[in-house]
Amino acid sequence: GAGVSQTPSNKVTEKGKYVELRCDPISGHTALYWYRQSLGQGPEFLIYFQGTGAADDSGLPNDRFFAVRPEGSVSTLKIQRTERGDSAVYLCASRSGASASTDTQYFGPGTRLTVL
Amino acid sequence: ILNVEQSPQSLHVQEGDSTNFTCSFPSSNFYALHWYRWETAKSPEALFVMTLNGDEKKKGRISATLNTKEGYSYLYIKGSQPEDSATYLCAFNEYNFNKFYFGSGTKLNVKP
């Protein structure tokens, strides 16, 4: 079956521009995560959705970052007024259940964002 | 912010060597530890989900152990093969929260 997909795979933008990154989770997965991975670091939690609602957005670095999941499937991460420090690989992951302890997260291939 | 550390940062071994690396995490409020393998240009792939102190899991030549009281997990690879070359990540999940804290990974390079 289809895995988690993310588009675009690469995005180059200029400082100050707005970008949207899309995540298509595995069909039927209610939980969805966004992570950001900067060079030399592990993935850093940004936001967690359970269904349509953001259950935990404590990882969003500031109010330039926003994410939505209006129908409980596809999610979009939106970054306003991009800065060079936003350059990173943005990963999306989904899992089927409500329990984080035993359910596997399935990751997408990531979107590499470069802000010039 | 919880601190999850992995060591070593990178490792170079010859084909056939056995190797192991460490993930350290807070020993309080433990809920689960996940291990992932991330090959270049691919998606991170789940290896193990570990929840109980003393857990030992195995998948082919790869195995992992868990010590929640002292806050560490070991990942072992027996008889490394070039296809094992990847970055191995661990992720800690705290009780009653759904967020995961990742280590920075161990990058393994297996030379033929």
- Which residue of chain A comes nearest to B88, CA vs CA? A42
CA distance B46 to A106: 7
Q: How far is B14 from B29, CA to CA, in rounded Å?
A: 38
Who's near B87: CB < 8 A, 6+ residues apart? B37, B38, B39, B105, B106, B107, B108
From first to last of its 116 residues, chain A has per-residue pLDDT tens of 589 999 999 999 999 999 999 999 999 999 999 999 998 899 999 999 998 988 899 999 999 999 999 999 999 999 999 999 999 999 999 998 766 667 889 999 999 999 99
Residue A56 has its nearest CB partner, among B41, B51, B98, at: B98
B34 and A43 within 8 Å at the Cβ level: the answer is no
Q: Is the peptide bond before A25 cis (omega within 30 degrees of 0)?
A: no
Judging contacts by C-beta atoms under 8 Å, the chain B residues touching residue A43 are 44, 89, 91, 102
A59 inside 8 A of chain B by CB: yes
A104 CB near a chain B CB, below 8 Å?
yes
DSSP string, A88-102: EEEEEEEESSS-TTT
pLDDT of residue B50: 93
pLDDT digits 0-9 by tens, A1-14: 589 999 999 999 99
B104–A42 C-beta distance less than 8 A: yes
User: Does B4 touch chain A if contact means CB atoms closer than 8 Å?
Assistant: yes
Q: Which of A30, A47, A105 should be substituted to probe chain B, the one whose Cβ sees the most B Cβ atoms within 10 Å?
A: A105
For the stretch A28-43, pLDDT in tens is 999 999 999 998 899 9
Find chain B residues with C-beta within 8 A of A35's C-beta: 102
Tell me what pLDDT residue A99 has: 66
In terms of DSSP H, where are the helices of chain B? none
Contact at CB, A100 and B31, closer than 8 angstroms: yes
Check: CB of residue B96 under 8 Å from CB of residue B46: no
The residue of chain A nearest to residue B30, with distances taken between CA atoms, is A101
pLDDT for B99: 85
